[in-house]
Chain A
Amino acid sequence: MSSTPPATPAAPATGTARVKRGMAEQLKGGVIMDVVTPEQAKIAEDAGAVAVMALERVPADIRKDGGVARMSDPDMIESIIEAVSIPVMAKSRIGHFVEAQVLQSLGVDYIDESEVLTPADEANHSDKWSFTTPFVCGATNLGEALRRVAEGAAMIRSKGEAGTGNVVEAVRHLRQIKAEIGRLAACDQHELYAAAKELRAPYELVAETAALGRLPVVLFSAGGVATPADAALMRQLGAEGVFVGSGIFKSGDPARRAAAIVRATTFFDDPKAVADASRNLGEAMVGINCDTLPETERYANRGW
């Protein structure tokens, strides 16, 4: 090489909003898969997952087993971090900022402050600005999404109803968020203050969302995606990527289904590609009809 590059001074800044939100931008168009062992994490990585979510039990099992669902064992999380080179996310309970501190200390790449675990605080979510590790949070509507962003969330996922294998709630929540953004974008300046009041979200974030015509952070979909067509549906509805929980490792052939969901997520607007991805996948997870689910067992109601 010939040239001498210029010197580059200036101290580096970690944990900035741009670095946290930018990390989520890198995941766009991808599939994030729930895994409970290093072996599953490798299957997910080989299938083309863009990240894995390390947890103790997939939501379908949390539903079945009942009891209090908590952060996973640090040994398990570390063994998953060791096993793959893609980013590793892990879940903390809502408001359990010590679990979040532990996850940060383990070096996870993203923390999901998740309604799938049993909430630790029924009034407050964690202050996510105080962490270097970025957070993703669930939301069922725009106000909830913006309250999470106000608390420092760097990525939002529509909640859906985890562990059901039923996409209906994911569709409801994503449509709700998109529709509310659409209504905001049509507001004139005078109306934005009242809109902020109605959404119970900070005016600045409401105004920013109105101006952008989208959330200020990346929006994924989660909760009930079980098939390639489900994933493509969420993408066509405007999700920038999908989380798949129980749908993969509760199915008959996880490796095959995982790869198929990835393919359908990439080629979400090509029905022929989605059809090809949907062939011969074996048993899908059985699934639960959400309208028979008691209110107390709806995870989407958790979070405030």
Chain B
Amino acid sequence: MAATPLVGVLALQGDVPEHLKALTASGARATTVRRPEELARLDGLVLPGGESTTISKLAALFGLTGPLRARIAEGLPVYGTCAGMILLADKILDPRAGQETFGGIDMIVRRNAFGRQNESFEASVAVTGIEGPPVDGVFIRAPWVESTGAATEVLATYGGHPVAVRQGNALATSFHPELTGDHRLHGHFTELVRAAA
């Protein structure tokens, strides 16, 4: 396979540039994705932080929901942070009317589970599979995982709730490594993309 995999960042809305930077620093070629026809050539995909209701509405509006769901179901490696985690959940506990996810991880997530912006916080989080000291977890109106299926591996918890999970080639965190300059999780994901290609 190509030595440098091509990883797309869904660029409907959210902290896209930070993900592009983290992926590039991790040795991937990073590109933005806004249209269905841009999905085919990707080796991996990142669903960024942003507003999950907004991103899912825009994806539906622009005809991306079905194609994204199909690519993820085929096994395209995918990493979602915060809003991206919600979009990767097979089920949302308290969805807005008509809010659809792309699925990919057998789990139920609770949106804004850690509270509104006043409750947003930073804390150290040790993540299984990430070498070295714990990562600095930046939780912004963050979700947590309410429950997981048999195939879903919990990689980290905070306050008794799963905040990093993996199922097959799909990875999700409640927090935002892209805001910290610590690229270990993006490096981990890039390795996953390499291995899958």
Using CB atoms and an 8 Å cutoff, list the residues of chain A in contact with chain B. 1-3, 5-16, 18-19, 22-23, 25-30, 45-46, 48-51, 85-87, 104, 107-110, 132-134, 259, 262-263, 266-267
Contacts and interface: CB of A to CB of B under 8 A. Distances in A.
Interface stretch (B37-45, B68-76, B118-126, B186-194): B118-126
Interface residues of B, number: 55
Contact of B179 (A7, A25, A46): A25
Given A8-B156, A28-B15, 13 more contacts: A1-B152, A5-B128, A12-B123, A14-B121, A18-B180, A22-B138, A23-B117, A25-B18, A25-B179, A26-B83, A29-B50, A86-B53, A107-B116
Interface of B: 11-18, 34, 49-51, 53-54, 57-58, 61-62, 82-83, 96, 111-112, 116-128, 134, 138-141, 148, 150, 152-158, 162, 164, 176, 179-180
Contact of A26 (B82, B125, B126, B164): B82
A8 B176 contact: no
B101 to A, nearest CB: 14
Contacts of A259: 61
Contacts of B123: 8, 10-13
Contact of A50 (B16, B54, B155): B54
A199 B159 CA distance: 45
A23 B141 contact: yes
A107 B153 CA distance: 34
Contacts of A110: 117
Given A10-B124, A14-B120, A87-B141, A26 B49 contact: yes
Contact of B12 (A9, A15, A29): A29
B121 A12 contact: yes
Given A46-B57, A48-B58, A133-B117, A5 B157 contact: yes
Contact of B120 (A1, A19, A27, A46): A19
Nearest to B125: A8
A2 B167 CA distance: 12
Contacts of A6: 126-128, 156
A10 B12 CA distance: 34
For the complex of A and B, the 4 pairs showing the least CB-CB separation, nearest first, are: A12-B121, A6-B126, A109-B117, A10-B124
Contacts of A132: 118
Given A23-B140, A45-B53, A48-B61, A28 B120 contact: no
Contact of A134 (B54, B82, B117): B117
Contact of A107 (B50, B82, B118, B156): B118
Given A8-B134, A266-B13, A3 B154 contact: yes
B87 to A, nearest CB: 14
Contacts of A11: 123
Nearest to A48: B57
A13 B57 contact: no
